[in-house]
Structure 1
Amino acid sequence: MHFCYQLIALFTLVASLLSPVHGAVRSDAIEPYNATLDNFDYPFDVGRFTFDSQGETLSMAYMDVKPQGDPKATVVLLHGKNFSGFYWERVASELVGLSYRVIIPDQIGFGKSSRPEHYQYSFAGLANNTRQLLEHLEVEQATIVGHSMGGMLAVKFAKYVKDKTARVILINPIGLEDYLKWVDYQDPQVFLANELNKTPESIRRYQQKNYYDGNWRPAYQALLEPHIGQLKHPDYPRVAKNNALTYNPIFSEPMVYDLPQLTVPVTLIIGTRDRTGPGRAFKKPGVTHKLGQYHVLGKEVADTLQQGTLIELDGLGHMPQFEDWQQFKAVFFPLFED
Structure 2
Amino acid sequence: MKLIGLSFLASLAVTSVAAQTGGSIIDHGLPDDLNGSNFTYPFPLKLYKFTSQRQQLEMAFMDVAPTGTPNNKTAILFHGNFFCGAAWNETIHVLAHTGYRVVVPDHIGYCKSTKPTHYQFSLAQLATNARGLLNTLGVGNVTVMGHSFGGMLTFRYGLMFPGSIDEIVVVNAIGMEDYVGKGVPWIPIEESYATSRESTFASVQAYENTTYYVGLWEDRYDEWVQMVVDVFFGSKRDAFCWNQAQIVDVVLNQPIAHDFARLQPRLLLMIGEKDTTAIGKTWAPPDVAATLANFTALAHDVSAQVPNCTLVTFPELGHAPHISNPDIFHAALVEWLTTGTTNSTIETR
TM-score, normalised by the number of residues in structure 1: 0.86
User: Does the Cα contact within 8 Å between 2:111 and 2:231 map onto a contact in 1?
Assistant: no
Which range moves more in the overlay, 40-49 or 70-79? 70-79
Query: Partners in 2 of 1:160 and 1:279 — Cα distance?
Result: 27
Q: Is 1:167 the counterpart of 2:172 in the alignment?
A: no
Tell me, what secondary structure is at the counterpart of 1:170?
A: strand
Aligned to 2:206: 205
Q: 2:300 is matched by which residue type in structure 1?
A: K
- Tell me the alpha carbon deviations over residues 243-279 of structure 1, each in whole angstroms, 9 at most, x when there is no partner: 1111111111111222110111111111111111111
**What SS does structure 1 have at the residue aligned with 2:180?**
helix
Amino acid at match of 1:259: F
**Correspondence for 1:153:** 153
- CA–CA distance in 1 between the matches of 2:282 and 2:87? 28
Closer, same or farther in 2 for the Cα pair 1:229/1:320, shift >3 Å?
same
What is the identity, as a one-letter code, of the residue corresponding to 1:243? Q
Q: 5+ residue gaps in structure 1?
A: 1-31
Tell me which residue corresponds to 1:101. Answer: 101
The 5-angstrom pairing of residues 1-338 of structure 1 reads 35-37=35-37, 39-67=38-66, 70-181=70-181, 182-283=183-284, 287=288, 289-338=290-339
Change (3 A) 1:274 1:285: closer
SS of the residue corresponding to residue 282 of structure 1 reads coil
Q: 1:137 to 1:147 in 2, by over 3 A?
A: same
For the Cα contact (< 8 Å) 1:78–1:104, is it kept in 2?
A: yes
Which runs of at least 4 in structure 1 moved beyond 2 Å after TM superposition?
32-36, 68-72, 226-235, 281-289
CA displacement 1:54-87 (0-9 Å, x = unmatched): 1210001111111156443111111001111001
Q: How far, CA to CA, are the matches of 1:212 and 1:292 in structure 2?
A: 15
Q: Distance in 2 between matches of 1:249 and 1:235?
A: 21
* 3-state DSSP of counterpart to 1:269: strand
* 1:224-243 alpha-carbon deviations (Å, 9 max, x no partner): 11222234434311211111
- Does the 8 Å CA contact 1:273/1:317 hold for their aligned counterparts? yes
Q: 1:330, CA displacement in angstroms?
A: 2.3
Whether the aligned pair in 2 keeps the contact of 1:122 and 1:248 (CA below 8 Å) is: no
SS in structure 1 opposite 2:305?
coil
* Residues in 1 aligned to 2:288 and 2:99: alpha-carbon distance in whole angstroms: 49
CA distance in 1 between partners of 2:322 and 2:289 (Å) = 31
Indicate the structure whose relative CO is greater, using CA pairs within 8 Å and at least 6 residues apart. 1
Distance in structure 2 (CA, Å) of the matches to 1:232 and 1:266: 37
Per-residue Cα deviation, 1:154-189 (whole angstroms, up to 9, x for no partner): 111111112221211111111110011121111111
User: 2: CA distance between counterparts of 1:289 and 1:137?
Assistant: 45
> Structure 2 CA distance, aligned partners of 1:129 and 1:186?
27
Displacement of 1:336: 2.4
Determine if contact 1:35/1:238 at 8 Å carries over to the other structure.
Answer: no
Quote the Cα distance in structure 1 between the aligned partners of 2:165 and 2:297. Answer: 27
Distance between the aligned counterparts of 2:76 and 2:166, measured in 1? 11
How many residues end up aligned between the 2 structures? Answer: 306
1:70–1:98 CA distance, 2 compared to 1 (3 A) = closer
Q: CA deviation at 1:286?
A: 5.9
TM-score, L = length of structure 2: 0.84
CA distance in 2, matches of 1:128, 1:158: 11
| Deviation larger for 282-291 or 210-219 | 282-291
Report if aligned partners of 1:34, 1:235 keep a CA contact under 8 Å in 2: no
Contact 2:281/2:289, CA 8 A, preserved across alignment: no
| 1:222–1:103 Cα change, 3 Å | same
SS in 2 for 1:280: coil
- Cα 1:112–1:331, aligned 2, differ >3 Å: closer, same or farther? same
